[in-house]
Amino acid sequence: MINSLFYILLLTSLSSQPLSNEKAVIIERNKFLTAMLSLAEKSKHYFLVDIREKKLFLMNRGIVLREWSADQVRFTGDPIPVQPFSLVSKNIQLADLRLNVNVDDESVNNTSTNNSSDNKTSENKKDDKYELEALEIDDMPTNYQLFLDGGISINVRAQSEAFGSTIKHIAHSLMWYTYYPILAIWSSFKKNTFTVIDISFKDKKEAQALFWAFTEETECILLFPESGDREAFQF
């Protein structure tokens, strides 16, 4: 009698398992579609960042405008729910990228006369510098941070074989494996959300284009590997 009851409970458990998994996928799917719809209804563009697939999609009204394929994507800290998050700030602002060009250089001196150089005043030297107003994608940085609401930060880096870049890579690795874990423990102790995403590209132009596209208050949805069943997040 006991064995029969055991087998009945086992069969009931096995038969209900697929139904519970299917229900979980449906719930996750509804959350994802609701979040995507809330962004698609707006006129602004937005991002879908798929950490597991190492892809970023720039979208507008449900249409993919551009896709980035990163060479490496990793994260540390707390996984976050599938919901929109907005860009709060960058560690580098466009105003910081304005280039002050000094026209009092060798090329200018070669075309100028000795008399004009002798008559320069301190005020004229101040006027030798002017600000370039027009910025292009090539002027964008290749290494920067994006700060989202909810205590989320995204590090974007372009890989390089230069010696200086190698030193920066070593410094970043030390920060990733030492400083960030300590900060994660401290944030957990303080009951604060702490999430850092690390994205790297081999092509620096991809990192520059991403900086250009991530404008102020841009919203995005982040899909973590632990988010759930992959089928729930197909679009």
For the cut 50, the answer to whether the pLDDT of residue 105 exceeds it is no
Residue 126 has pLDDT above 80, yes or no: no
Per-residue pLDDT of 43-94, as tens digits, reads 999 999 999 899 999 999 999 999 999 999 999 888 788 999 999 999 988 7
Of 98-102, 159-163, 169-173, the range with the lowest mean pLDDT is 98-102
Query: Does residue 216 or residue 206 have the better pLDDT?
Result: 206
Q: Is the pLDDT confidence value at 15 over 80?
A: no
Q: Is 225 left (phi over 0), alpha (psi -120 to 50) or beta?
A: alpha
- Predicted confidence at residue 84, as pLDDT, reads 96
Residue extents of the structural domains in the chain: 2-94+140-233, 100-131
pLDDT attached to residue 29 = 86
pLDDT class for 230, splitting at 50, 70, 90?
A: low
The per-residue pLDDT for 8 is 41
- The pTM of the full predicted model, rounded to 2 decimals, is 0.70
To which H or E segment does residue 211 belong?
helix 204-213
Q: What is the pLDDT of residue 208?
A: 95
State which amino acid sits at residue 11. L
Considering only CA atoms, which of 197, 210, 204, 220 is closest in space to residue 73? 197
Banded model confidence at residue 201, pLDDT cuts 50, 70, 90: very high
Mean pLDDT of 172-178: 74
Look at residue 198 and tell me whether its pLDDT is greater than 70.
yes
Q: Which of 151-155, 169-173, 215-219 has the lowest mean pLDDT?
A: 169-173
Q: What is the DSSP letter of 176?
A: I
Q: Looking at this protein, which amino acid is placed at residue 14?
A: L
82: nearest Cα among 140, 180, 150: 150
**Mean pLDDT along residues 164-183:** 72
- Among 12-26, 117-131, 216-230, the range scoring the smallest mean pLDDT is 117-131
- In angstroms, rounded to a whole number, what is the distance separating the alpha carbons of residues 203 and 201? 5
Across the chain, mean pLDDT equals 76
The SS3 call for residue 57 is strand
d(CA 69, CA 74): 13
Report pLDDT for 209.
Answer: 95
Residues 12-41: what's their mean pLDDT? Answer: 75
pLDDT beyond 80 at 5: no
